[in-house]
Structure 1
Amino acid sequence: MCRLQELILEAEDRGETLAAGTVVVADSLNRSTGRFDRRWHAPAGGAWLAIVWPDILLPEFTRLLPFAVGLAGCRTLNSYRLDARLKWVNDILLGPHKIGGILCQTFLSSRGERFHLLGIGINVNNMVFPAELDQASVSLAGALGSPVDLEEFIARFLAELTLALGLLHHDEAQYMHSLQDEVEKRPGILLDTWKHLCDSVGKQVEFGYDVQKKPLYRARVTGYDHSGGLVMELPDGRRTVEVSGEIRYL
């Protein structure tokens, strides 16, 4: 993420704008953090990428950028004949184990231009994890029993991401047409595809904005709304919808 920010500012110094879709690939990351400043274990052998995307989507579609990145990561893993699944909203799972995560940030440049930085980390050939992550993590090589070509994996991911971002922009265009034609607005193709790969429905969960440190309540996931919000049923039967935060499976 920091390198992308530097590239944006360097381009501005030249009187230019960094091209949409610029990708930074790291061999490894030191002192990196994910959501809520948690340590992000990112040694050599994994796929650690960040992509810059311009701020050109409507707000209700901008918030689906992490869904596009997660969908691309999940579909890439499944191209190796696995059954990876998504956990709302930022994790990629293989069985009960985490194999990847997404981190999306907004960056405001020195001349006031807004960019979205799309980060993803996937355990590909890295098979050794810190003690605190060992039981909860898995890698692609570990699941397959042998290493894979990392460059090919990244190429597959970028192809899937291109498709996912294309679907997101297509869905926005369809949404705009529905406003003009006054027809019923429906979830787009991207979100429908994402829902089919997300396994959170039916799970008993803890919800919070940093659920590891401060869980707020327990509930059962019953579905997703038209914007990707998580629909849950509380123990007293009341329904609640969350559009940010995170969950932990119980």
Structure 2
Amino acid sequence: MSTRRALLDALRSGPVSGPELADDLGVSRAAVWKAVEALREEGFEVGSTDDGYVAPTDPAYCAAGIEFGLDAPYGVDYHDSIPSTNDRARRLAEEGQSDVAVVADEQTGSRGRLDRDWVAPSGGVWVSLLTRPKIAPARAPLVTLAAAVATTDACRAAGVDAGIKWPNDVLLRRTGGADPDAHESKAAAERGGEKLAGVLTEMEGEADRVSWLVVGIGVNANIDSEALPAGATSLRAVLGGDVDRRRSVIRLLDRLAELGADPDAVLPAWRERAITLGRRVRVETATGDVVGTAVDVEPPGALVIETGDGRVSVHAGDCDHLREA
């Protein structure tokens, strides 16, 4: 463990003296002091008392601020502004790195599925997690579903009633039934609710193994709804105030680590949070539209649709929620 991370972990339990930490890690007191100064330069304001170093009461939104309190075994690569967290994570993968969460306050060249534009201004939660899971590429969709579950849970922990539209859109759940609300845009109505967050997964691998996998997550957190496209909303707009993005990222990464360690828990958790199941849907696939009632999701993440001709399993496509007849 690095001196920096060890210092952050030690600060979680209270004041820690430089000599004590130096002895525990087998490093010099000068090395501990350098680690403290590096944290301060990063924006993590470590205090000094008679009992030793103490953590800030309200850590900043920075790499150290996120790592402080993080149980998941990930490092954090933070940027105030970056074109794309996914692009940065891919470059880190090419350098041989792993288990790194790239976090940005703002993305200037972000994109969604199918290279669609994705608005990612300052104030959102923009994070791309690079891992090297020991799974076959065919099971990679489970990671995407796990990311949707983790994102939904982070939104709910912030106080917003979120749900999942297949496969990985996180939406504000309606409170007035299945039919669209009068104020909703057509885009929101077709999704099944206003969009809070999305997931974009990329990977490289061979037929039998994944070399690396990047799961990019974008949450409209502390953003004014006027800055978002039609059909989208933000945590700020729903709650009427800002959320603690640092805590949201920590919850998100910790939950992802939990699900990564227990793949069998992913589909049951996804079903519990789904707003697509039980709805009439239309899924646009490469071979045509599939229309019917979504009844289940099966490994590794296919949507099962009851149609007039029987059940069909759809592995990929754009899903719209239809109004009930």
Aligned to 2:34: none
Q: CA deviation at 1:55?
A: 4.2
The answer to whether the 8 A contact 2:123-2:223 is kept is yes
Change (3 A) 1:143 1:128: closer
CA–CA distance in structure 2, aligned partners of residues 113 and 247 of structure 1: 27
Q: Distance in 2 between matches of 1:113 and 1:106?
A: 7
Structure 1 residue 232 displacement after superposition? 0.6
The one-letter code sitting in structure 1 at the alignment partner of 2:236 is A
- C-alpha deviation, 1:57, in angstroms: 1.1
Report the TM-score when normalising by structure 2: 0.62
1:245 aligns with 2:317: yes
1:50/1:117 contact within 8 Å kept: yes
Match of 2:161 among 64, 74, 83: 83
Aligned to 1:200: 276
In the alignment, structure 1 residue 63 sits paired with structure 2 residue 141: yes
Matches within 5 A, 1:1-250: 1-9=86-94, 11=95, 17-19=96-98, 21-95=99-173, 96-107=193-204, 114-129=211-226, 133-134=229-230, 136-168=231-263, 188-209=264-285, 216-234=289-307, 236-250=308-322
Distance in 1, matches of 2:97 and 2:89, equals 9
Residue pair 2:220, 2:235 contacting (<8 A) in 1 also: yes
1:217 and 1:129, CA in 2 relative to 1: closer, same or farther beyond 3 A?
A: farther
The RMSD of aligned alpha carbons is 2.3
CA distance in 1, matches of 2:163, 2:97: 33
Secondary structure of residue in 1 paired with 2:155:
helix
Number of residue pairs the alignment of both structures matches: 216
* Partner secondary structure for residue 262 of structure 2: helix
Post-superposition Cα deviations, 1:90-128, rounded to whole Å, max 9, x if no partner, equal 20011211100000011369xx98211110000110123
**Alpha-carbon distance change, 231 to 113 in structure 1, aligned in 2, over 3 angstroms:** closer
Deviation at 1:66?
0.2
Give distance in 1, aligned partners of 2:105 and 2:160: 24
Distance 1:50 1:226 in 2: 24
Structure 2 stretches lacking a partner, 5+ long = 1-85, 174-192
Output the amino acid matched with 2:295.
T
Q: TM-score, normalised by structure 1?
A: 0.79
Identity of aligned residues (%): 26
Residue identity in the other structure for 2:273: L
